[in-house]
Amino acid sequence: MAYFAIHVEKWLYGTTRMEMELDEIACFTYILARATVTGADPPGLIYYFSEEHLASQLQVSLELLQRTLEKCKKFKKIKIKTLKRENKYVLSAVNWEKYQHVDMHQKAYRQRQKKKKEAQEKQYLEGTKKHNQNITVRSIGEDRKKEEKIIEDIKGEEIKADNSGDPNTPNSNNLETSSPLPSNSESFIEGKNNLLQEYLSRLRDCPGYPFDEYMDSSLFHHIDGEYPNINILEQLDKKIAWWKEHSDALKPSASPRSKLYEWFEQEHEFQNRRDT
């Protein structure tokens, strides 16, 4: 069923009510209705041979039609052209697209809304991506610096340990009294080795962790020397349990080894606050 849209507020309160009489408005409505069903290409056209012919099509009086056409032309609601070769006239409604089917208006509106939403989503995704990239780059850079510093500290401690046995090194005579590990305590050293092997075993078995025996062994010695009061295996188990719930934290870009060191560092700070 063919139909055309009438914008109610404009129809009730617009200029048409002031420009035309009610019977002329009714006739104009018939003109729009007729233009809807003619099947002309492009749509919105009415072909007729004379005003009498058009009045017959609209089923209105000739006098009413003439008044309506005169005012519609005056207020630029319609246009009329003469087709001399075909000896007929063509009437076209101005701004015909405003009177198109309601579903066409709705479709156009939905398309505009869809494009607007897509543009907003694109802008949001681009902004989020850029923000995440900035955070990732900054975070990776900071984590790498921390990890490099840890490794440098570890190497420094290893160099000191190697030099401690050099007879030319100052205070070498006091090695037994100054060393935190008694040189004659084989059971103590064996306990430390067992602790290290257990520490490495749990890291090796942790799904997704980028295990490296040298780096993780060095990190263990660093943590053990710097935080002797921390139960290493207990805190490691807590961290591994946390990793299992936050698997993204094990990605290389997240620097899990550096974060593991921070875990022990935070535990040390917590113990200090608790003790004080």
Average pLDDT along the chain: 79
Is pTM beyond 0.85 here?
no
Query: What pLDDT score was predicted for residue 174?
Result: 45
Cα–Cα distance for residue pair 58/152, rounded to 1 Å: 96
Lowest mean pLDDT among 20-34, 80-94, 108-122, 168-182: 168-182
Domain with CATH 1.10.10 in the chain: 8-100
User: What fold, for 8-100?
Assistant: Arc Repressor Mutant, subunit A (1.10.10)
Is 72 in contact with 78 (CB distance < 8 Å)? yes
Average pLDDT over residues 26-36: 90
Is the pLDDT at 143 greater than 80, yes or no? no
Query: What pLDDT score was predicted for residue 181?
Result: 46
Average pLDDT over residues 221-234: 89
Cα–Cα distances in angstroms (integers) from residue 155 to residues 45, 70, 149, 150, 219, in the given order: 90, 99, 10, 9, 10
Query: What pLDDT score was predicted for residue 165?
Result: 52
**What 8-state DSSP symbol labels residue 172?**
G
Percent of the chain exceeding pLDDT 90 equals 29
Query: What pLDDT score was predicted for residue 69?
Result: 96
Q: What is the pLDDT of residues 167-198, one digit of tens each?
A: 554 444 444 444 444 445 577 777 888 899 99
Rg (CA), the chain: 44
Average pLDDT over residues 217-234: 89
DSSP 178-199: H-SS-TT-HHHHHHHHHHHHHH
What the block records as the tokens of 106 is: 């709705």
Lowest mean pLDDT among 15-19, 44-48, 181-185: 181-185
Closest of 201, 276, 185 to residue 240, by C-alpha: 201
Lowest mean pLDDT among 26-30, 78-82, 131-135: 131-135
Query: What pLDDT score was predicted for residue 177?
Result: 43
Average pLDDT over residues 123-137: 67
Average pLDDT over residues 32-52: 85
Cα–Cα distance for residue pair 155/202, rounded to 1 Å: 24
Query: What pLDDT score was predicted for residue 60?
Result: 94
Query: What pLDDT score was predicted for residue 109?
Result: 59
**What 8-state DSSP symbol labels residue 88?**
E
Cα–Cα distances in angstroms (integers) from residue 266 to residues 32, 101, 227, in the given order: 79, 68, 11
Q: What is the pLDDT of residues 191-217, one digit of tens each?
A: 888 899 999 999 999 988 989 888 888
Average pLDDT over residues 33-49: 83
